[in-house]
Structure 1
């Protein structure tokens, strides 16, 4: 952990063993920055600062939502800032704060192994650089906390700006008709929506807890003004994220409408194709009926002629005088009957 004393002369690095003496001083501001709350850090928080065990537990474990707890001589606050991961995943980077009259303890919560550990330190390092450069000289824990939270909110705003640029690019692809694979494009749309929703949730919950903190009477008037300012800034970020999310929703609805229209047109074209195939099949069936009818008509004389053409010895018809005319008459009557039957059924 890093122990620093901030005074009119600037910022000085101190040792952990000096903490009791530094906290007893009436001049200067003590800032303890803990990159990760291990056993040694938890012991310092418990023995030197006498923080509540549940608050220390919150520093050791990951917290899913922002929170605040008011104690007699300090406030405990948990906040998050977004970090972009792979395929639109949003990592919640946690920072915990113990805000006292003459000290501030910042604890960086556990981070996902896929996130660079240095990402969790960007707000505190940015504020430290301002202090070392003389551009910032906080006098109280609330002033130092305000500077750190302001850096956190700038990162939230930058994240919204990054997602907004993605939204504009996606809109241009929709209006330009170059979306590519629909499934992948829909995934891109909803990944952008997820990012905006994540920041919106962070800002809304943070605005709510700082709004509640502004009503605490144990906070000095100067601290209350800073708390109200932070609550307003979080509310503004929430509003911006909401606006961009609604804009993106319009892009999503426009694209879904485009897909619906395209699907309807494709379905209509398929119906026309099916209609043509059905008509062709019907015409083919009619032709087959005609062919089958004429084949049956001509089959009857062929059958009679085939039987008479066998020339067996015991065929009495061969010796009839009327055998030949009778065979022709049978052929004609059979063919005529078949013709009338097929004609009545509409096959011919």
Structure 2
């Protein structure tokens, strides 16, 4: 039997009246918890974002949100190969969060919406691709990936599976960059008032100077014993097997080609990405890159003095 027209057009007010009438038959009021309806300081379950943070060291720990009842997002899982990091993250997240030492177990969760990837960059593409294939949306720390090819495969996979991905690059999405609002500068350049080609100079004081040496590697490391709290094999993952030394891992891994690209890939996401957006170059890459630097070691990333990116129309970023 089909439904009548009246049943098909039952509105919310009629529904509420019927619910109240039905509840009166039990001689007790129908009480619906406040968090179901939402309102000030309460997010209804249908709009609550559930998340997992994979990699809870320095930057990852900053993004472990303490769970507050009725508010979003909710951190349901934290994951790290260092048991010390993991214990601190679990304590911060609080009630409702589960700790994992292997990121693959996190992807078995059906109640998580988004995966926040805060591992070293050599893991970004592999975890992100697997998460997209498993149906998760993604938020990733910079740099996007360790290599250009990894980034292209990662990007294409996210698109193929219809997932959402955002990189944590506040320079583009924030309201301020250098001496003006990022979007306003992009609009000004697009108007043609400044002419073309343009040259943009990003000074060391914009954030590169203190990163150049801090994120440089060392060439004289002596192998040391792996700490008991660290699963070093899983930390290495897809990277080449190298003897353990603390300078290769937590806090200083950016100085080694196996895992990252030094201060440029670390801060370039923040300071060069907005410039590329302002110049309208999202759809293209530089046609030439000139670098003033000493010869680089095959493993340890060294310092550099100047880089110049030139685009097909003559625009430059220095």
TM-score, normalization: structure 2?
0.22
TM-score, structure 1 as length reference: 0.20
Task: State which structure, 1 or 2, has the greater radius of gyration over its C-alpha atoms.
Answer: 1
Instruction: Name the one with the larger helix percent.
Output: 1
